[in-house]
Amino acid sequence: MTNAIKILESINMKIGRFFSWATLVLVLLIVIDVVLRYVFKVSYIWLSEVQVYVFALIFLMGIGYTLLHDQHVRVDVFYEKWSQRKRAWVNLFGTVCFLIPWCVVAILSAWKYASFSLNFKEGSGQPGGLPCLYILKFLIVLAFVLLLIQGIVLLIRSILTLISKQV
């Protein structure tokens, strides 16, 4: 069981680390955009859209990685002081009742959204904007798949904690 957990976690670990470098790319793109705009008085819509795409990549591809490292948004007022067993119950309940069902809903909805976009070869609505907007929309599907994978790992870890005699 722990090998399966490690394999699943390695997916989000590798993807999260890889896309963390996109933050540096985003900073460079913003610097280039600012220099072009304020020094050379030139602006490109495609450059602004690339910044949005890269930001979306960072956010979307980091969702599972964030959950893996337990850095997601949570009200820690009580959780922080609870025993591991009580935390496991909360994680189990939250994962089964909220995380997994909403990941499935999001995956199905985003798939329809992205497929519709692909069928029409949707691109930017701006003149001079980027083509292939559907790629970004399919990344929403991938992001929720990654989050679902990490949710399954959290579920398994919670169950293992609850059945463990040590905790």
DSSP state of 165: S
73, 14 in Cβ contact below 8 A? no
Q: What is the mean pLDDT of residues 58-83?
A: 88
pTM comes to 0.90
Residue 167: pLDDT band (50, 70, 90) is very low
* pLDDT value of residue 48: 95
The tokens 């470098």 sit on which residue? 21
Residue 136 to residue 124: CA distance in whole angstroms = 11
Residue among 2, 36, 5 at smallest CA distance from 149: 5
Q: Is the pLDDT of residue 141 over 50?
A: yes
Domain limits, the chain? 2-73+80-163
Residue 45: pLDDT band (50, 70, 90) is very high
The tokens 């959290």 sit on which residue? 154
Instruction: Give percent of the chain above pLDDT 70.
Output: 97
Q: Is the pLDDT of residue 17 over 50?
A: yes
